[in-house]
Amino acid sequence: MLKEIEAEVNDQEGPSMTGIRGELLLNEPMSKHTSWRVGGVAERFFKPADLNDLITFISCIDADESLLWIGLGSNLLVRDGGIRGTVILTSGLLKELSLLNSDVVRAEAGVACAKVAKFCARNELVGAEFLAGIPGTMGGALAMNAGAFGGETWELIHSVETLDRQGNRHTRSKDEFKIAYRHVEGPKDEWFIAAHIRLSAGNGAESQQKIKEFLAKRGATQPTQLPSCGSVFKNPPGDHAARLIESVGLKGKRCGNAMVSDKHANFIVNTGNATAAEIESLILEVQQAVELAHNIKLLPEVHIVGEKKHA
């Protein structure tokens, strides 16, 4: 069925055989869709028109097709050799944000976390302010239990909506998932399409002020002016990755155009035309240096995907 969809891409004037309304791109550069601004091409790259269009697409594709879902492309390193299979973009496409009732917000997977935080505050709901510090979408935040400023995504979750490989929708409770620090396990071959966030009523103006303070702190302490993925490593128990990296003198360490930020050591920034290989090499160098000095193996928070580019 993917061949039929690809044929439609090459014949935009022809009639639709599949009912797909979104856009399917072939050999799409992933550097255009990741916050690090690096990565090879995706074999196929799908932009659904909306949730119903995504369901139609999923139900059409081959059962063994490799799928990668992305939002804003943060927390993601795509190798220079690119991605075989299909990448599905949610950011700006699965974008509905609404109140289900007085204390539950429904946010689709492609809505930016910061937008969710501000929406909650405007509706006099408090507790979601920390989401403003997560540089990604709700889908990604759900998938990794993203956190910032002492809060974690799944602390807010009442239930989630998922989509399986057959295009069937499910509403699942929080207790159907195994939740840990930056780790989430749930039903196999299901992907998050929306979150139901339960909050408490409170002072919206105070909540909005708290969001402003969080964003100001993020700007003051993180290298937001250069392309990065957010935090590269998970914090080990009882310690901070940034402290460990700084302690071994790696702030400012470079590999080509990739550099350990001199503003926050748990960030690797693209200072120009860095490659994914340079970033990955720097990740490995940081891990080795910290392990040698402290006997602590830093675990990547960033998700590394795709194939290495052959020389």
On the question of pLDDT at 36 being above 80, the answer is: yes
Domains of the chain: residue spans and CATH: 2-89 (3.30.43.10), 97-220 (3.30.465.10), 223-305 (3.90.78.10)
pLDDT-derived band at 63 (thresholds 50, 70, 90) equals: confident
Q: Which residue has better confidence, 9 or 96?
A: 96
pLDDT tens, residue by residue, 153-206: 999 999 999 999 999 999 999 999 999 999 999 999 999 999 999 999 999 999
DSSP conformation letters of the chain: -HHHHHHHHT-TTSPPSS---SEEEEEEEGGGTSTT----EEEEEEE-SSHHHHHHHHHHS-TT--EEEESS-TTEEE-TT-EEEEEEE-TTTS--EEEEETTEEEEETTSBHHHHHHHHHHTTEES-GGGGG--SBHHHHHHHT-EETTEEGGGSEEEEEEEETTS-EEEEEGGGSEEETTEEE-STTEEEEEEEEE-EE--HHHHHHHHHHHHHHHHHHS-TTS---S--BPPPTTS-HHHHHHHTT-TT-EETTEEE-SS-TT-EEE-SS--HHHHHHHHHHHHHHHHHHHS--PPB-SEEES-PPP-
What's the chain's average pLDDT?
94
79 assigned to active site: no
Are the beta carbons of 173 and 179 closer than 8 angstroms?
no
Catalytic residue among 74, 207, 231, 261: 231
Number of residues that make up the chain? 311
For the entire predicted model, the pTM comes to 0.91
pLDDT tens, residue by residue, 87-133: 999 998 999 999 999 999 999 999 999 999 999 999 999 999 999 99
pLDDT-derived band at 4 (thresholds 50, 70, 90) equals: low
264-275 average pLDDT score: 97
239-265 average pLDDT score: 97
159 assigned to active site: no
213 assigned to active site: no
Catalytic residue among 23, 182, 285, 291: 182
